[in-house]
Structure 1
């Protein structure tokens, strides 16, 4: 009984005292922000046909759809071309900000708004990866995804060093962002546009905005540490819950995909992989597709292997080595899909989702290699002093100290 009580209390302490998986959450942040940003840049010449005024899903059809399902999109607030161009540009800028980890709390909210606005404007534009980006953009709002590998973490390290030298550190950018975002929310709400859709997303936007104000007020005005500790515990619980949901979502995607494949006759007889290789839409390299499909044994092995890996993966999470082996196979599979079937953004989205299961030791080694490569580039560029290595996340204080923008 005592062991059970100790285990429960230890688990509660672990969930409330720290934001788990800081490196995994950072990789998810970087992966999905990069995927969406690359997609927006790649499709920039076709943006009007995909999501804008020249698309087959016209303004009237868009209004009917959003009126029926209550989906949130700021692009339906106006049919002006300038409004669309502004929304598209802000979606790209918020993706870049989230990728770099600059003001990740605000950037994650704007990233979500950009993803939902564009995707809900034309719901039939996508290849499957858009659904993953759609869901993850909402989950990222609840995570503390800027604790490592971000400009926020760098700013916090520099701020701590300055305070240690007795210097006063004042955050001016955070209050400005909070004020501008609050004004935008107030104007949208006052115009009646905000709650044209389902109230969940507008309520979330106002909730995050109010939480930022509360965090700043407690950090600056509280005379004791207890209110700040309470808010920090709440932020950790939300982060860890969102991380658990992201992991469950990834498992659900693979499990449902695998079990649905089992029911298909072509997957049962081992020929399913042959057919997409000969569809013009999925054949950017016909010669490569012909080479891969010419070997019947190879097609059969890839077909059965895909089903086995997808069905088995959720069951291997309790065994670290088996999980890592299957994870490597899935990442390799998505990389092949990106090249052979011409689905790079779908593959990038799925690889970013898979990254939540990568081992921390592996991610730290990759981060160390990236840091050394960066230092080498800077030294060759004429800077002899390398940048200081980031501390481990357990030694890093909250990345949203002061104003959590």
Structure 2
């Protein structure tokens, strides 16, 4: 009983005292923000037809559907082109800011707003990759995904160094950003701009209030207990969101694999052949013909896809097997991006898979990136900065509105 009690106490302490998986959460942040940003840039010239006033799914049709399902979107506040361009620009800027980790907590919320607003405006424009981005945009709000590989981490490190030297640290951007977003929330709430169920607007108000509370406690609290309490709550939310993301990935692969098992074309090993005969999924016809010219290759790829997807959730109990199968799945998605012409679906799935990557590999990846940056900067005659490592037991941030 004593050993069991100690084990439970150690597990609780680990979950509450630190935000686990800082490198994995950073990879998810970078992966999904890059996927959405690249998609928006590629479709920039077609944005009006996809989500705007020129869409075949007109504004009135979208309004009728939203009235039925209560989905969240800002684009029903007005049917004017100016408002649409503003929301599209918000989606672009928030994706870019989240990618580099600038004001990560705030940008994760704006990223979610941009994703939900555009996708729910024209629900028939998406595919499986858009569904994954849709879900992960919501989960990212609850993660502390800017602790490494971000401008926030660099700003916090410099602020800690300044405080250690006895310097006073101020942050004017955080309060200004918080005030502007609060004003926007008031206006949208008062004018009915959300036009959706209460859940997402309530989440926006809750996050806005928590950011203000965090700043007040960090600046005004006379004791450390309130700051520690808020940090514990943030860690619990972060770790819970990571568990949900991992469970979501397992659910995606498990359901996809078991549904494939029931299909006759997957059972006889010919399912991969048919998509490659469609022009829509053949950006490189010669490559598709080369793959389908061998019946054995088609059989192996078909059965291999099913086996990998069904087996993956069970391999989480064995680290080595999981890492091998994870590499196979990422290569498979890379092949889908090239052969079937589905780059954004593949990027979304690879970003989802990144939550299972080992920390040692991600640290090594960070060192490789730091060396490449050092070489680039040395050629330009600039000073280099070593790659920061995530603290084992990080203290709560008291600079600005980022936690």
Distance in 2 (CA, whole Å) between partners of 1:15 and 1:142 is 15
**Deviations 1:309-332 (Å, cap 9, x if unpaired)?**
000000000100000010000000
**Deviations 1:233-291 (Å, cap 9, x if unpaired)?**
00000000000000000000000000000000000000000000111110000111000
Is the aligned partner of 1:35 residue 2:35?
Answer: yes
Deviation for aligned residue 1:166 = 1.4
Alignment of 1:9-20 (within 5 A): 9-20=9-20
Alignment of 1:146-295 (within 5 A): 146-194=146-194, 196-295=195-294
Distance in 2 (CA, whole Å) between partners of 1:299 and 1:209 is 52
Deviation for aligned residue 1:389 = 2.7
SS at match of 2:214: helix
RMSD over equivalenced CA pairs, Å: 1.0
Distance in 2 (CA, whole Å) between partners of 1:59 and 1:32 is 28
Deviation for aligned residue 1:395 = 6.1
**Deviations 1:198-252 (Å, cap 9, x if unpaired)?**
1000000000000001101111111110010000000000000000000000000
Deviation for aligned residue 1:59 = 1.0
**Deviations 1:334-383 (Å, cap 9, x if unpaired)?**
00000000000000000000000000000000000000100110000121
Normalized against structure 2, the TM-score is what?
0.98
SS at match of 1:76: coil
Deviation for aligned residue 1:402 = 4.1
Change beyond 3 A, Cα 1:236–1:21: same
Contact 2:175 2:400 in 1 (8 A): no
Deviation for aligned residue 1:162 = 1.1
Distance in 2 (CA, whole Å) between partners of 1:53 and 1:128 is 24
Deviation for aligned residue 1:403 = 2.3
Is the aligned partner of 1:142 residue 2:137?
Answer: no
Contact 1:17 1:236 in 2 (8 A): yes
Residue ranges of structure 2 left out of the alignment (5+ in a row): none
Distance in 1 (CA, whole Å) between partners of 2:221 and 2:397 is 19
Quote the residue 2:351 is aligned against.
352
Deviation for aligned residue 1:391 = 2.9
Distance in 2 (CA, whole Å) between partners of 1:256 and 1:138 is 21
Deviation for aligned residue 1:127 = 2.3
**Deviations 1:2-30 (Å, cap 9, x if unpaired)?**
11111111110010000000000000000
Distance in 2 (CA, whole Å) between partners of 1:235 and 1:388 is 28
Distance in 1 (CA, whole Å) between partners of 2:401 and 2:281 is 47
Contact 1:53 1:59 in 2 (8 A): yes
SS at match of 1:391: coil
Distance in 2 (CA, whole Å) between partners of 1:115 and 1:400 is 29
SS at match of 2:386: coil
Quote the residue 1:299 is aligned against.
298
Distance in 1 (CA, whole Å) between partners of 2:109 and 2:71 is 16
Is the aligned partner of 1:365 residue 2:364?
Answer: yes
